[in-house]
Structure 1
């Protein structure tokens, strides 16, 4: 009938290959099937600290050292020499025809490693080949003709006749998910964010530092630059911003909020780009000598989800389960979260007997990840209508990012300690379901709910812009779960540079914080081991 595997993985990009590495290292037999061939163009190129820490965590947890390569720019640039570096998040606010003089920058602190701009064509290929080297079967250029999923297992038939049997199928195929198509799962119901995009790779993009008078703690060109405007945002992600990189390209894209109900792609993306630069001439100066290295991609409404993401013998992962928008670079983070949990559950099940109900928590997790991303991104689009509102929402995002990174760092330390104590054995590490700081959820959820209510009231015109800004100031004044030394909720601060002195102050503050807050920061800050 065909080759038999424990797990069939549809897709060999970042998600599929990462999962294959985790499963192969744990003794499961996997096969990756992909309708495309490597190398191939992909976006989702900017990492964030939480993503990198998750890849480091998985490398230790599953004994897959290849995943540690994705944990920092320094680790990555040797194996994949075409990636850029990222030492800050930069946001510059623009108005039509004007010269920008308002900006935010969040330099990556000394407490995290330098992040990366992933040249996905090469990164995805490198990772897929490492999975193959570790025993996973890699079939490229094989589309899906037939996919039968029953209580007994999975039958896959490729469009060129390949037949595969498996106990379980994981769909890492992104928007074009074969499982979602087969089972009729696609929907946009319940999603607030509505945006469309054009994007490409270019050469000759001038560093923003060369044309702006805005001075910030770090160079704009060594980070991920976001040009923000009423109606949307633009990304500029250079791969040529470090002497170690051999790549002259820069990723460029614009995402517009959909206000008129027209969800179709822009018919002439090149003209749309030219019109945008004419509206914002300061941004246009960055592209005076730029040339396309590939054709524009024009995408209609970006948002989608699925009515169900887990079933008997199958699971949709990350971008197969749903997508919101590239803003804040959360896609790869969510991919890593789901890959980690799914790998853990699959390994447990194959070791102890297959019971599909054990995967139900992944359904809940993915729904929560999509909902949280929709909340953060959808309200950011609303806030772009006014700089002061964006100045406020920037803080909500930063609170979300910092607390999430602290949680992952806490888990990473515990996994590292367990691995060191266990030594070089193949025994599975104990599961860590709840990270330090779990008691934080009650009052941080109240913070998010209140911030959501403020933005809803503003968007529905129940309160004015000034009233909304005032409400945010009151909300931030009451925050007691972010170290004051970080300055994240101080709306007068446009730049954050969390050096070791500020970290030391945060540790001293955390020792006297209430339960949940104390464990979160003492478990996540670098100088705090053993001081909880």
Structure 2
């Protein structure tokens, strides 16, 4: 039986980052990935805090070198005739203020290829079937795409399987999300945008003019392509993805204007994903921990998925090194509690977006610059900075601020 210090399930961003960080500390690491790369996945707009973690994992130079990635320095919001934006370089928390909007197939492959170059064992087409964590080490049952099965032993296992949620399924850890089961319809278009009001350096988030709990993303890439999607409750967005997406996009004044010359018909299909929010009973157990979306996924509205995944990879990797070096690690106090600081902050603003209290803050007239900097930090991914009042007491602060802003009304 092969033996590794750490086996990582999944070769997405959290898998690559954790593998690179662990290899950097001299550990023998194996990544098992069921699919082959490149493969399509959503989550295409990164947040600046990701760049800090990618730099620590020595992966950032390869990302910077990719020419198809679109430079990103902020987030823009539109509702009816209103338009506002946040500049991520003008924020409360120190750290990178820019990042990229990426095709995840390319981005994820760059990260795992660079990780493999460091000497990490990476196996594509290998599916984890079971985990036995009762002994002194974890034993994983694995099946290749040719149907062959084998076992591998690890001193520790990290589940970075994302939406695959391998260990939560195998170990009965799944539990319903507290968030409603929303649906997203999306595709890629040739945008042909020439309108000077559109800033390609920012993701554009659009609140639907009538249904304020329905929003759309427009994520520009560097080659006249955009990812576009609409998110809402299934009963509101019932129907074929193409019909629903076009209808709601063209009902929004700014989108209708800037997409006047867009080509919606290319080789990219219309897709949808429903009930994507997820949660688990526990983030760790004997010989294992869950990273990113394998543990919990909130909502795509603030592009927090990859950021939470990378932060969990950074946290867990440091703890794994300590534990394998013989230290006693309190995973609840040192992993779960600090990780949930940011997750809960993001959750506050996701909930506030859908109940419109955070939308009222976003679209408020003449906001205070200091408050905008604090909000900008959160939108830039710095949701673990507890010196930011809007993180330390996120619910109370948002409630008070939303009341001050009053109910936003369209022009």
Q: Which of 60, 70, 79 pairs up with 1:68?
A: 60
Cα distance in 1 between the residues matched to 2:359 and 2:315: 38
Cα distance in 2 between the residues matched to 1:27 and 1:404: 35
Q: Which of 227, 236, 255 pairs up with 1:283?
A: 255
Cα distance in 2 between the residues matched to 1:42 and 1:174: 10
User: Secondary structure at the residue paired with 2:192?
Assistant: coil
Query: Which runs of no fewer than 5 residues in structure 1 stay unpaired?
Result: 70-74, 95-100, 241-246, 409-434, 455-467, 475-490, 492-532
Q: Cα–Cα, structure 1 residues 383 and 390, in superposed 2: closer, same or farther, change >3 Å?
A: farther
Instruction: Provide, for residues 259-311 of structure 1, a one-character-per-residue CA deviation record: whole Å limited to 9, x for no partner.
Output: x6x9xx95521121232245336523516423243222211122111111111
8 Å CA contact 1:146–1:156 kept in 2: the answer is: yes
Cα distance in 2 between the residues matched to 1:144 and 1:33: 8
Cα distance in 2 between the residues matched to 1:273 and 1:449: 35
Q: Does 1:235 align with 2:217?
A: yes
Instruction: Provide, for residues 37-74 of structure 1, a one-character-per-residue CA deviation record: whole Å limited to 9, x for no partner.
Output: 00111121212222222333xx2xxxx42x233xxxxx
The structure with the largest helix share of the pair is 1
Cα distance in 1 between the residues matched to 2:214 and 2:82: 16
Cα distance in 1 between the residues matched to 2:311 and 2:326: 23
Q: Which of 295, 319, 333 pairs up with 1:345?
A: 319
8 Å CA contact 1:257–1:381 kept in 2: the answer is: no
Instruction: Provide, for residues 198-222 of structure 1, a one-character-per-residue CA deviation record: whole Å limited to 9, x for no partner.
Output: 12222x2132x61x7xx5xxx5222
Q: Which of 201, 217, 220 pairs up with 1:222?
A: 201
Could you say which residue in structure 1 is the equivalent of 2:377? Answer: 402
8 Å CA contact 2:33–2:123 kept in 1: the answer is: yes
Could you say which residue in structure 2 is the equivalent of 1:109? Answer: 89
- For this pair of structures, how many residues does the alignment match? 391
User: Secondary structure at the residue paired with 1:372?
Assistant: helix
Cα distance in 1 between the residues matched to 2:311 and 2:361: 30
Q: Cα–Cα, structure 1 residues 266 and 347, in superposed 2: closer, same or farther, change >3 Å?
A: farther
Give the 5 Å matches for 1:431-442.
440=387
- TM-score calculated relative to the size of structure 1: 0.66
Q: Does 1:14 align with 2:16?
A: no
Cα distance in 2 between the residues matched to 1:81 and 1:6: 36
Cα distance in 1 between the residues matched to 2:267 and 2:53: 32
- TM-score calculated relative to the size of structure 2: 0.84
Q: Which of 273, 298, 305 pairs up with 1:299?
A: 273
Cα distance in 2 between the residues matched to 1:166 and 1:104: 50
- Higher Rg of the two aligned structures: 1
Could you say which residue in structure 2 is the equivalent of 1:379? Answer: 352
Q: Does 1:81 align with 2:55?
A: no
Give the 5 Å matches for 1:171-320.
171-189=159-177, 191-192=178-179, 194-202=181-189, 204-207=190-193, 210=195, 215=197, 219-229=198-208, 230-240=212-222, 247-257=223-233, 266=238, 268-280=240-252, 282-285=254-257, 286=259, 288-320=262-294
Structure possessing the higher relative contact order (Cα contacts under 8 Å, 6 or more residues apart): 2
The structure with the largest strand share of the pair is 2
Give the 5 Å matches for 1:410-489.
440=387, 445-446=392-393, 448-452=395-399, 471-473=403-405
How much has 1:185 moved relative to structure 2?
1.3
8 Å CA contact 1:266–1:298 kept in 2: the answer is: no
8 Å CA contact 1:87–1:114 kept in 2: the answer is: yes
Q: Does 1:44 align with 2:43?
A: yes
Cα distance in 1 between the residues matched to 2:336 and 2:376: 23
Q: Cα–Cα, structure 1 residues 447 and 337, in superposed 2: closer, same or farther, change >3 Å?
A: closer
Cα distance in 2 between the residues matched to 1:76 and 1:5: 28
User: Secondary structure at the residue paired with 2:35?
Assistant: coil
Q: Cα–Cα, structure 1 residues 348 and 359, in superposed 2: closer, same or farther, change >3 Å?
A: farther
Cα distance in 2 between the residues matched to 1:442 and 1:388: 18
Give the 5 Å matches for 1:329-368.
329-353=303-327, 355=328, 357-358=330-331, 360-368=333-341
How much has 1:119 moved relative to structure 2?
1.9
Query: Which runs of no fewer than 5 residues in structure 2 stay unpaired?
Result: none
8 Å CA contact 1:267–1:298 kept in 2: the answer is: no
Q: Which of 142, 152, 158 pairs up with 2:126?
A: 142
Q: Cα–Cα, structure 1 residues 403 and 16, in superposed 2: closer, same or farther, change >3 Å?
A: closer
How much has 1:143 moved relative to structure 2?
1.6
